[in-house]
Amino acid sequence: MDHKSIVHSNEIKAGINAGKPIVALESTVLTHGLPRPQNLKLAHDMEQAVRDEGATPATIGFLDGVLHAGLSDAELERLANEVNAYKVGPRDFATVISKKICGGTTVAGTMLASKYTNLKVFATGGIGGVHRDAPFDISADLQALASIPMIVVCAGAKAILDLPATLEYLETMSVPVVGYGTDEFPAFYSRESGLDVSVRLDTPQAIVDFARAHWDAGLHSAVLVTNPVPETEAISKSEMEPYIEQANREAREQGVHGKALTPFLLPRISELTEGKSMHANLALLLNNARLAAQIAKAYYRSNTRMLA
């Protein structure tokens, strides 16, 4: 696939041509992550959070088999209300294109689309990783992080995963894990995990400088920026762990696995926490969108200085 096969909104096309700061946003949170109509409200809120920081949002998704970089309000609404939207990782591009169907892109799918569009900064909630009790169930997100050079802002890996194994995989694949203002790897709903990041950085410009040094050293992996959930919405690891264990146990008992596992676990955990985890999820998504926009602006300023 080349850039000619992607439909860019006029806003994104103009931004790319001018080298303006743009933040890629995934769309599985729209199609699979949240119930209606909360999903559409969040999509608008994330885009607005990016705009408020002076950058342009580019929500990525498939409509009728066509990959879109930047969705209009009408297109966002349509994707949010698609009953049978596909969950699109890299392996699924050919499926949705050939069948001309609609779908939301995962972290890995959004990164692949961003590679074709030359977008360098991406905001998501939590990355996928190695699943608990299923060490061969490894998210395609990790392979994308190992092979696509861009800055990915998240709140760590989803807490439902095996976090130590996920970090070991990232180390093996030479993906630096940056803690934004923290020495500890965030655990999605929780600010703490007991696990270390590979480096702590405290400003968006420092993250941009680090990313350039990483790529200048000849590495082609992403730079994973972990941004802890805001303290006001954070849930301690000790409080969350019993809920996560219960939801995982129920998934095993019901035979839920593969692509269906995360869409099963997150709503179930929200039920068990009486919506508390959902509030944390929404807060961290907006927090990540804001930071990604700040990084995109710093990246744009650095490019401008280099060309001057």
pLDDT digits (tens, 9 = 90+) for 95-127: 999 999 999 999 999 999 999 988 999 999 999
Total domains present in the chain? 1
The residues assigned a catalytic role are: 26, 158
Q: Evaluate whether 283 touches 149 at the Cβ level (below 8 Å).
A: no
Domain of residue 265, CATH code:
3.40.1790.10
- Whether the upstream peptide bond of residue 37 has omega within 30° of 0, thus cis, is yes
State percent of the chain over pLDDT 70: 97
On the question of pLDDT at 47 being above 80, the answer is: yes
Q: Confidence class of residue 137 from pLDDT cuts 50, 70 and 90? A: confident
CB atoms within 10 A of CB 120: 24
User: What's the pLDDT band for 257 if we cut at 50, 70, 90?
Assistant: confident
Instruction: For 83-111, give one letter per residue: b (16+ CB within 10 A) or e.
Output: eebbbbbbebbeebbeeebbbbbbbbbbb
- Asked whether 103 and 88 are in contact (CB, 8 A), the reply is yes
Angle at which helix 276-307 crosses helix 204-216, to 10 degrees, equals 60
Tokens at 181, concatenated: 């203002």
Given a cut of 90, whether residue 155 has pLDDT beyond it is yes
Structural domain including 260 reads 3-307
* 137-to-86, 128, 142, 161, 251 alpha-carbon distances in Å: 20, 10, 11, 10, 14
The confidence band for 308, taking pLDDT boundaries of 50, 70 and 90, is very low
* Alpha carbon distance, N-terminus to C-terminus of the chain: 33
In eight-state DSSP terms, residue 210 is H
Indicate the pTM of the whole model: 0.94
